Structure 1
């Protein structure tokens, strides 16, 4: 059997590299990522466990904006280590003028101690910052 260690990276296409670089550099930098890779139309941030890559869409790709509900990317969730971190990221997003879909809230239907904020990147891609106590407890029990 092959054991997956985690998700190494996510790579997305953006419509405006400069605008998205500013958004992600501020957001990801706030969450402990560093811009590690920059070549051509591709940028990659790394936090030592996960990388987040953006690259500019080609001319044809820019003609088709992302639409929630299409086949493909639904959302990406960044897990944080404390529930209060969800609120800290929300405050930054508000300061940045980001589109907030759902302000920080607890989601007991998702499991014990699930807290999250949902928002959009400049191209309308849905992102989440979340904390999940139940998952942390399960992982501690496996040690």
Structure 2
């Protein structure tokens, strides 16, 4: 029935800054980029190697997230990584503020959090 997640949609406040973050820093590849003049909105389709996609939108005057991180709705987006420490260090070297690495008390796997340019909470989670 459900085979997986196709994409996650994110609305950003600064399109160029978020585009740079998701492509240059996180390594997503651009599938398609469209400007929708009738909405004064960009839509950028991005993909990871496994096919996971992010739709990055810009809308003029989009409201800010109501609270961080415990607003109702999507709490955070987690990425599978082979080595949490290595990816955390990579992000830190690029100027991204990354929290201390923790261990999931139920799975024993390492994880940590960081944020995108709009403060959207993102997680690195040990794959195996």
Question: SS of the residue aligned with 1:99?
Answer: coil
Number of paired residues? Answer: 119
Q: Deviations over 1:85-131 (max 9, x none)?
A: x122211221222232x222322x1313x111201111000000111
**Which residue is equivalent to 1:130?**
125
Instruction: Give 1:23 deviation, angstroms.
Output: 0.8
**Bigger radius of gyration:** 1
5+ residue gaps in structure 1? 134-143
Alignment check: 8 A CA contact 1:28 1:45 kept: no
Q: Distance in 2 between matches of 1:132 and 1:39?
A: 33
Q: Deviations over 1:50-100 (max 9, x none)?
A: 1012111332x1xx32221222221000112x2x2x122211221222232
| TM-score, with structure 2 as normaliser | 0.82
RMSD (CA atoms): 1.6
**Which residue is equivalent to 1:94?**
92
Which of the two has greater helix per residue?
1
